[in-house]
Amino acid sequence: MTTQQLIDQIRIKKSFLAVGLDVDLNKIPQHLLALEDPIFEFNKAIIDATHDLAVAYKPNTAFYEAYGIKGWLSLQKTIQYINATYPDIFTIADAKRGDIGNTSSMYAKAFFEDLNFDSVTVAPYMGKDSVEPFLAFENKHTIMLALTSNEGAFDFQTLITNPEISGGKELYKQVLETSKSWKKSENLMYVVGATKAEYFSEIRKIVPDSFLLVPGVGAQGGSLSEVCKYGMNANVGLLVNSSRAIIYASNGTDFAQKARAEALKMQQEMEEIISLKFKD
Amino acid sequence: MTTQQLIDQIRIKKSFLAVGLDVDLNKIPQHLLALEDPIFEFNKAIIDATHDLAVAYKPNTAFYEAYGIKGWLSLQKTIQYINATYPDIFTIADAKRGDIGNTSSMYAKAFFEDLNFDSVTVAPYMGKDSVEPFLAFENKHTIMLALTSNEGAFDFQTLITNPEISGGKELYKQVLETSKSWKKSENLMYVVGATKAEYFSEIRKIVPDSFLLVPGVGAQGGSLSEVCKYGMNANVGLLVNSSRAIIYASNGTDFAQKARAEALKMQQEMEEIISLKFKD
């Protein structure tokens, strides 16, 4: 999917919602466990109930790998189902990969070719040659961690570098700036946690045009309106993710309807923000 | 496996060699492609030919994920084969994972429980709560990236922090120091690339007792003797990895014998270093 196609979908649906498919067999409705592939059946029901409200789905690979081969098969069936049934949906493999060049090429092949995701999340620690192999893919997007939504974000991401030797700014800002010089950096998006809304205006000075994938609204305490106030650009430029608040809204047989109700609440909040922001 | 059992194996085998199983179907002997699971058959032959010379095997998960379900199955069969046939071997899932706490728990479950690896590599960018879920597993080891062997290591890992605000040292040193305060940090090992041998003495000041997993000897240009000179401790404390130089020593029907010959060269070099170092 091209960036323009994603922007078009946001306009059409009046939504920039990404639904995180972090499926834990201990949390899904127990009646699904009798089925052959409970994880896929759960995802399919959630997707069918929310596809007109969300512009993206984001399966987190950890939740599939934890179930071994069966889990990987559920992931494969899920992405195939989305691509076949709702081809306008933007898909994110939340995998946080990153390794030396020839290895990152294999990860890119896994997510962009074998599974055919539109995007994959990557970690920046190993630098340029660990990310560029992902960027090389046409109409695919590489979403790099910048400032994450967890407590540990303050361990290293906000360390300030030496002004005389290393730039004199927080590590996550250095990550953002440095990445702009990489080959095919136009294929980069960034993860920025919603729990740190006040950081968005600083981040927008460095990457005004890039899409930001924003976890941490809802369950992790971030505010949608604050994020939008500081983080939105002329193309919206945000994908706000919600996982648990939507997919585990109920663990009864009504789970899909309840998930839709939660997704609808978020979409309506987004529609209001969009209409206020772009009213002129 | 306990750390002591790993140390014992190093003493018995006079080797601290880890063999990287980065299996690319384009590089393995073509006669294997007629078999049902060429990747597993290749690994099995390499392992059978080198198990008395190596103390560890390190499959890199990217090379398995790139082949989808079939690849994940090859990885599963490989680790099951090692655990069943050579239980004294230390196994490393080179996966470079790391995410928020509940997600890292799922990755830990995937590699420590479902696949039953002794250790997994993780990335530090997301900080404490992204790594501690791995550390919680008894007799399992978490190998965190510190200073990697690739060119991109100089993008962020060697940035120097502000002495007045953030510690005044290279990021990788800050990563090493901070990680020592984490819960169950005794289960940490670190990745330190061989291409930067001069850094080992500085690193040993921070983590004198920890095991270091060292990629980059051979194909990437690092020197074994230099690494040992600065990096070895009283328990050896090193696992030196070689992947391509061993597993792709030949792509004919003699690939396993040639792999053994390369592994033997490295083991003999290691034995000589060990005997010189510990002669008294």
The partner residue sitting opposite B69, judged by closest CB among A73, A123, A168, is: A73
**Residue A183 is encoded by which pair of tokens?**
């080959």
**How sure is the predictor about A278, in pLDDT bands with cuts at 50, 70 and 90?**
confident
pLDDT tens per residue across span A13-51: 999 999 999 999 999 999 999 999 999 999 999 999 999
To the nearest whole Å, the CA of B250 is away from the closest chain A CA by 20
pLDDT of residue B166: 86
> What is the four-CA torsion angle of A133, A135, A139, A141, rounded to 10 degrees?
110
* Spatial distance between the Cα atoms of A4 and A235, rounded to a whole number of angstroms: 9
The partner residue sitting opposite A162, judged by closest CB among B102, B150, B163, is: B163
A183 at the B interface (CB within 8 A)? no
Task: Considering the candidates A96, A128, A169, A258, report the single residue annotated as catalytic.
Answer: A96
pLDDT tens per residue across span B59-118: 999 999 999 999 999 999 999 999 999 999 999 999 999 999 999 999 999 999 999 999
B181 at the A interface (CB within 8 A)? no
pLDDT tens per residue across span A241-263: 999 999 999 999 999 999 999 99
In chain B, what residues touch A148 (CB-CB under 8 Å)? Answer: 100, 125-126
**How sure is the predictor about B218, in pLDDT bands with cuts at 50, 70 and 90?**
confident
Alpha carbon of A55 to those of A10, A50, A206: distances in Å?
7, 9, 25
In chain A, what residues touch B104 (CB-CB under 8 Å)? Answer: 62
State the average pLDDT over residues A82-97: 98
Handedness of CA B10, B14, B18, B24 (dihedral sign): negative
Do B128 and A165 lie within an 8 Å CB cutoff? Answer: no
In chain A, what residues touch B150 (CB-CB under 8 Å)? Answer: 100-101, 126-127, 129-130
pLDDT of residue B217: 87
Do A130 and B150 lie within an 8 Å CB cutoff? Answer: yes
Q: B202-234 burial by CB neighbour count: b if 16+ within 10 A, else e?
A: ebbebbeebbbbbbbbbebebebebbbeebbee
In chain B, what residues touch A127 (CB-CB under 8 Å)? Answer: 150-157
Do B161 and A161 lie within an 8 Å CB cutoff? Answer: yes
**How sure is the predictor about A212, in pLDDT bands with cuts at 50, 70 and 90?**
very high
A66 at the B interface (CB within 8 A)? yes
Which is nearest to B67 in space by CA: A221, A66, A19, A107? A107
Strand partners, B239: B213
State the average pLDDT over residues A217-234: 88
pLDDT of residue A242: 95
pLDDT tens per residue across span A156-207: 999 999 998 888 999 999 999 999 999 999 999 999 998 878 899 999 999 9
**How sure is the predictor about B119, in pLDDT bands with cuts at 50, 70 and 90?**
very high
pLDDT tens per residue across span B177-212: 999 999 999 999 999 998 878 899 999 999 999 999
Query: Would you say the ipTM is above 0.90?
Result: yes
**Residue A173 is encoded by which pair of tokens?**
């800002």
Mutate to test the interface with A, among B128, B150, B213 (most CBs of A within 10 A): B150
Long-range contacts of A183-187 (CB under 8 A, 24+ apart): A183/A132, A183/A135, A183/A136, A184/A132, A184/A135, A184/A136, A185/A135, A187/A134, A187/A135, A187/A137, A187/A140, A187/A141, A187/A142
The DSSP string of A202-213 is: HHHHH-SSS-EE
Do A150 and B60 lie within an 8 Å CB cutoff? Answer: no
Q: What is the largest CA-CA distance in chain B?
A: 62
pLDDT of residue B135: 98
Residue B227 pLDDT > 70: yes
Alpha carbon of A15 to those of A71, A81, A241: distances in Å?
30, 21, 11
* Spatial distance between the Cα atoms of B25 and B19, rounded to a whole number of angstroms: 18
To the nearest whole Å, the CA of A126 is away from the closest chain B CA by 5
* Spatial distance between the Cα atoms of A213 and A147, rounded to a whole number of angstroms: 11
Residue in chain B closest to A100 (alpha carbons) equals B150
Determine contact, residues A77/A37, Cβ cutoff 8 Å.
yes
**Residue A97 is encoded by which pair of tokens?**
């990969």
To the nearest whole Å, the CA of B107 is away from the closest chain A CA by 5
The CATH architecture of the domain made up of B3-277 is Alpha-Beta Barrel (3.20)
Domains of chain B, residue spans: 3-277
Do A68 and B115 lie within an 8 Å CB cutoff? Answer: yes
pLDDT of residue A280: 59
**How sure is the predictor about A142, in pLDDT bands with cuts at 50, 70 and 90?**
very high
Which is nearest to A111 in space by CA: A137, A86, A89? A137
Handedness of CA A225, A229, A235, A241 (dihedral sign): negative
B107 at the A interface (CB within 8 A)? yes
**Residue B61 is encoded by which pair of tokens?**
């998960």
* Mean pLDDT of the residues in chain B: 96
- Fold classified for A3-153+179-277: TIM Barrel (3.20.20)
pLDDT of residue A222: 81
For β-strands B238-242 and B17-21, DSSP reports them as parallel
Residue A219 pLDDT > 90: no
pLDDT tens per residue across span B152-174: 999 999 999 999 888 899 999 99
pLDDT of residue B280: 59
pLDDT tens per residue across span B228-261: 999 999 999 999 999 999 999 999 999 999 999 9
Single-letter amino acid, residue A143: I
The DSSP string of A119-186 is: EEEE--TT-HHHHHHHHTSTT-EEEEEEE-SSTTHHHHTTPBBPTTTS-SSBHHHHHHHHHTTSTTGG
* Spatial distance between the Cα atoms of A106 and B66, rounded to a whole number of angstroms: 5
**How sure is the predictor about B14, in pLDDT bands with cuts at 50, 70 and 90?**
very high
Q: B20-37 burial by CB neighbour count: b if 16+ within 10 A, else e?
A: bbbbbeeebbeebeeeeb
